[in-house]
Amino acid sequence: MAAVQAGSGKGSGQKPGNAAGGRPGGGTKPAPGRSANPAKAPGRRPGPATKTASGNGKGGGGKAGAARTSQYRPGVKPPQRFNPSTLAFAVVAVVVVIIVAFVVIKVTGGHSKPSANGIQAPVDKAASAVVVNEVTSVPASVAAKVGLPPTGTVAPLTVKTGQPALTISGKPGAIFIGGEFCPLCAAERWPMVMAFSKFGTFSNLKETTSSPWDSDPATATFSFLGSSYSSPYLTFDSSEHESNDTSGLGTRTTLQPLTSQESNLWAKYETTEGFPFLDVGNKYFVLNPSYNPAVLSGLDQVDIASKLKNPKDPVTQDIVGTSNYITAAICAVTGQKPASVCSAPVVAKAAQAMTGK
């Protein structure tokens, strides 16, 4: 699977995974491109001139100085004019329509998006407290039963040695860079929310989907846009760098500009600056998708969250299996704290699988 190329107008370029069940991460990245500009609306030809009462197309009527004749004819009802009461009623009606329009905009939040071919653009909304609770409270027994799925379905994080430790605000740091349009990022956020919630608390998470025009269309996910994370053990820094598509593939724009630290680390460790990118302490990295987003096809947030207590479900195996690896990576940079999380046998097993030690 190839990471999604940032700034590419063509989307993710290919379906993640492979039919042979091979290890994720083997694909090539699509070449960078430019987002397509919306097509210009076709011009409109001027219509035919409206004829005057005299029957010609000239705006002035007949010869200069000729008197205009009345439109009134005997037996024909003369044209009606608005009387004051009718005019007042019309003004009141217009005011009512305007008020109703403002109320509708207020209720809907003004979030209507353009659509293409009848497909509605995704809209961020506050994440359901029920969904967040189900994702962040998966029993340890389920994590133990899932363990480490075969590497053909779930890939461990990439380990880089000899790198300077990443610290943010005086704590071990982790940085995520993604895009709301990106289906691979959509899949990655589920195990990230699960794993990081074992060390701290997210606030103001959003729900959205990936682009409905990209591969693995409309994959249900969270968004870190506008969220915050609090932990005594580490600092989590996220950037939803590119927006969702708004009216077709490649219509996304820059959503959150990168800080200099984010930009430098992204360029250093992910040389093609693809999505998703997760750096845990400059030691463990997600440089390619951890599992195939297709497993989430046709499911919304409630559907996905409701599956996470069944260790035999493929959705649970991919999300919880990936979370086990991310949890082990975080434990490695926090000095195995907290012990209640990091002492779990599955965490030690995941760490050994990633480092070979």
The full DSSP string for 204-253 is: S-EEEE--TTSSSTT-EEEE-TT-EEE-SS-EEEEEEEE---SSSTT---
Q: Residue 238 above 50 pLDDT?
A: yes
Identify the three-state secondary structure at position 116: strand
Q: Residue 241 above 50 pLDDT?
A: yes
Average pLDDT on 144-166 reads 95
Average pLDDT on 98-123 reads 60
Identify the three-state secondary structure at position 355: helix
Among the ranges 11-15, 17-21, 161-165, which has the highest mean pLDDT value? 161-165
Domain that holds residue 351: 124-355
Domain membership of residue 129 (yes or no) is yes
249 compared with 73, residue with greater pLDDT: 249
Domain membership of residue 222 (yes or no) is yes
Q: How many structural domains are present in the chain?
A: 1
Q: Residue 126 above 80 pLDDT?
A: yes
Domain membership of residue 178 (yes or no) is yes
Domain membership of residue 111 (yes or no) is no
Domain membership of residue 247 (yes or no) is yes
What residues have CB less than 8 Å from 37, skipping those under 6 apart? none
Q: Residue 3 above 80 pLDDT?
A: no
How many other C-beta atoms can be found within 10 angstroms of the C-beta atom of residue 3?
26
Domain membership of residue 8 (yes or no) is no
- Name the packing angle between helices 183-196 and 314-333 (round to 10°): 60
Domain membership of residue 238 (yes or no) is yes
Average pLDDT on 211-226 reads 98
Domain membership of residue 108 (yes or no) is no
152 compared with 28, residue with greater pLDDT: 152
User: 277-311: per-residue pLDDT in tens?
Assistant: 999 999 999 998 899 999 999 999 999 999 999 99
Q: Report the b/e string of 292-327 with b at 16+ CB within 10 A.
A: bbebbeeeebeebbbbbeebebebbbbbbbbbbbbb
Q: Residue 36 above 70 pLDDT?
A: no
Give residue 357's pLDDT: 83
Mean pLDDT, the chain, whole residue set: 79
